[in-house]
């Protein structure tokens, strides 16, 4: 029997990358999956319902969640995965860019959680997993405002855990390091550029490689499942030890050659 058998899972940002990999794992583990994204999915996943939803739009999020509840009567797992990157020094970041990234990375998780949480409270059960980042638990030089949004998600998650643990609800984040997705490749000029810079991308990772989306998805399944029933309020790095500590200076210095300073 699958590790998520009998569970209803809602995913925001499930059309590609880490979200799509997680939708596939959720289905493989026996969950009934309602995935959403602002884009058409990169791939149809048999066994998952895939809908178009702008996760920053209050009306669309509430309607999507109402629809799931009308059909299933419960939501056991919420995966807040929507996010965009901004690789700019703070002094070069415009107010519009600042507002946009908070309005996406933080608001989407807030709206998804606000819509789903009352149903979890009513059921006295539920697991909320939110995608933060390596930049949600440590400072990084190239993307300070992105990192601020990812720290905000960790803070919101820990607070939900503390507030609702007694009601059978868990809230945790996954904190990926560099993962080979469109987002990571999009921070670079071209696919060739990605390959040329791969050694630099891995330079700040003790494991000395970029991760794969499915490696994050496996951790999300663990946090979504009852196997992690006493794990609550954690920010779980999936990063080849990047957040664990310091490395020799010559490895770190390559961080500054990523085109994001």
Ligand X SMILES: NC(=O)c1ccc[n+]([C@@H]2O[C@H](COP(=O)([O-])OP(=O)(O)OC[C@H]3O[C@@H](n4cnc5c(N)ncnc54)[C@H](O)[C@@H]3O)[C@@H](O)[C@H]2O)c1
Contact residues for ligand X (CB under 6 A)?
12-13, 15-19, 37-39, 54-56, 81-84, 104, 131, 133-134, 176, 178-179, 181-184
Q: How far is 175 from 135, CA to CA, in rounded Å?
A: 8
Q: Are 201 and 234 in contact (CB under 8 A)?
A: no
Catalytic residue among 146, 156, 216, 219: 146
What minimum distance in Å lies between the beta carbon of 170 and ligand X?
A: 19
Q: How far is 210 from 197, CA to CA, in rounded Å?
A: 11
> Which neighbouring-strand residues pair with 169?
126
Active site residue 252: no
Coil, helix or strand at residue 171: strand
How many residues are present in the chain? 261
Of the candidates 214, 216, 203, the one whose C-alpha atom is nearest the C-alpha of residue 256 is 203
Q: Dihedral sign, CA of 80, 84, 87, 91? A: negative
Q: Are 120 and 66 in contact (CB under 8 A)?
A: no
What minimum distance in Å lies between the beta carbon of 183 and ligand X?
A: 3
261 to each of 62, 105, 141, 151, 168, how far by Cα in Å? 39, 22, 7, 20, 44
Q: How far is 146 from 52, CA to CA, in rounded Å?
A: 25
Catalytic residues: 146
């Amino acid at each position: 029997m699958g590790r998520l058998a009998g569970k209803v899972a809602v995913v925001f940002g499930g059309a590609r990358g880490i979200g799509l990999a997680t939708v596939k794992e959720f289905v493989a583990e026996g969950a009934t999956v309602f995935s959403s994204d602002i884009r058409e999915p990169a791939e149809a996943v048999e066994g998952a319902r895939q809908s178009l939803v702008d996760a920053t739009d209050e009306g669309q999020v509430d309607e999507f969640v109402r629809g799931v509840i009308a059909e299933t009567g419960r939501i056991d797992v919420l995966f807040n995965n929507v996010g965009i990157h901004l690789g700019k020094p703070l002094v070069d970041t415009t107010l519009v860019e600042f507002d946009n990234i908070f309005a996406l990375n933080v608001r989407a998780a807030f709206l998804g959680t606000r819509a789903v949480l009352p149903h979890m409270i009513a059921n006295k059960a539920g697991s909320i997993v939110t995608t933060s980042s390596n930049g949600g638990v440590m400072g990084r030089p190239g993307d300070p405002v992105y990192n601020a949004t990812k720290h905000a998600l960790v803070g919101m998650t820990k607070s939900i855990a503390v507030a609702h643990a007694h009601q059978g609800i868990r809230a945790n984040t996954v904190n990926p390091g560099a993962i080979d997705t469109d987002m990571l490749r999009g921070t670079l000029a071209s696919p060739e550029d990605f390959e040329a810079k791969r050694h630099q991308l891995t330079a700040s990772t003790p494991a000395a490689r970029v991760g794969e989306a499915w490696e994050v998805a496996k951790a999300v399944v663990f946090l979504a499942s009852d196997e992690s029933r006493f794990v609550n309020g954690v920010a779980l790095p999936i990063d080849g030890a990047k957040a664990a500590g310091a490395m020799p200076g010559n490895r770190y210095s390559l961080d500054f050659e990523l085109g994001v300073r």
